[in-house]
Amino acid sequence: MISLTKDLLDGDRIKIPKHIAIICDGNGRWAKKKGFPRTFGHKAGTKPIENITRDCSELGVKVLTFYVFSTENWSRSYEEVDFLMKLFVEFFIKLRNEARENIRVKHIGITDNLSSELIDEIKRTEKSTENNSGMILNIALNYGSRSEIINVAKNIMHDIDVGNLNVDKINEDLISNYMFTSGLPDVDLVIRTSGEMRISNFLLWQSAKSKLWFTNDFWPDFNYNHLKEAIKYFNVVDS
């Protein structure tokens, strides 16, 4: 842990973002470039998720969020979606069995259209790590910010209807508390790989004030050096 931090510090004082959110993009292109099917890239993309989780935990990041499947990603081919869903089952089992660093795993997104097997694995993993006091690892799977905001609006309306909430109480904090990320700090730093400079319906409310860092490298090649660059960029003081 100390050596990683020292390495990052480079002799300077550096602020570690409380919440880092990563759009893991470019798995398909990474595989294609190597002459493999897109699914090969998805499989390879699980490794940097494990590595970066460990690195962020060691650096003292409080919340790390990975965007692994958007509500829009259902429009991909049946074969690709099916492969991804099976990969996510394995991924949650692995997270649970190898939960290191006292990490607490949470799913953000909706469970609509997910297989009962995947929903079970997600729930089991959340349950078995719920008392962990270390970094929170959010997996944004079947996540879309607009659908999250629609649900927040509905839940607020419902609470007003049943008399549990007064309209005058609606403010930024209250809305934040209705989000999937309730109780968590806002996103400080968004990272997106593969040269795409889009937000793609990711944490629109939570990243309203965050810094954005992009790399042309594809997600399966993402490593600690990228993370360091992103954190250094986060530390650049605006003039």
| 68 touches ligand IPE (CB under 6 A) | yes
Q: State the DSSP H helix or E strand holding residue 19, giving kind and residue range, or none if neither.
A: strand 19-23
| 121 touches Mg ion (CB under 5 A) | no
Min dist CB 205 to ligand IPE, Å, is 17
Binding mask 100-139 for ligand IPE (x = CB under 6 A): ----------------------------------------
25 is in an annotated binding site: yes
Residue 171 appears among annotated catalytic residues: no
Min dist CB 25 to Mg ion, Å, is 4
Q: Cβ–Cβ contacts within 10 Å for residue 113, how many?
A: 11
DSSP 11: T
Min dist CB 200 to ligand IPE, Å, is 4
What single string gives the DSSP state of each residue in 134-157?
A: S-EEEEEEEE-HHHHHHHHHHHHH
Residue 221 appears among annotated catalytic residues: no
Q: How far is CA 60 from the centre of its chain?
A: 16
Sheet holding 189-192, edge to edge: 104-108, 136-143, 63-70, 19-23, 189-192, 211-214
16 residue type, one letter: I
Nearer of residues 29 and 86 to ligand IPE, judged by Cβ: 29
Contact 26, 194 (CB under 8 A): yes
Alpha-carbon distance of 135 to 159, in angstroms, equals 31
Min dist CB 25 to ligand IPE, Å, is 4
Nearer of residues 72 and 130 to ligand IPE, judged by Cβ: 72
> Site for ligand IPE (CB under 6 A): which residue of 46, 53, 59, 69?
69
Nearer of residues 25 and 148 to Mg ion, judged by Cβ: 25
Alpha-carbon distance of 190 to 215, in angstroms, equals 11
Where do the DSSP E strands lie in 77-128? 104-108
10 Å CB burial of residue 122 (0-12, 13-18, 19+) is buried
Min dist CB 202 to ligand IPE, Å, is 7
**Span from 54-62, 169-177, 178-186, 194-202 in contact with ligand IPE (CB under 6 A):** 194-202
| 148 touches Mg ion (CB under 5 A) | no
Contact 205, 179 (CB under 8 A): yes
With contacts defined by CB under 5 A, how many residues of the chain interact with Mg ion? 1
Nearer of residues 51 and 200 to ligand IPE, judged by Cβ: 200
Footprint of ligand IPE (CB under 6 A): 23-29, 67-70, 72-73, 84, 194, 198, 200
**Residues annotated in the binding site for substrate, as ranges?**
26-30, 38, 42, 70-72, 74, 76, 192, 198-200
Positions marked catalytic = 25, 73
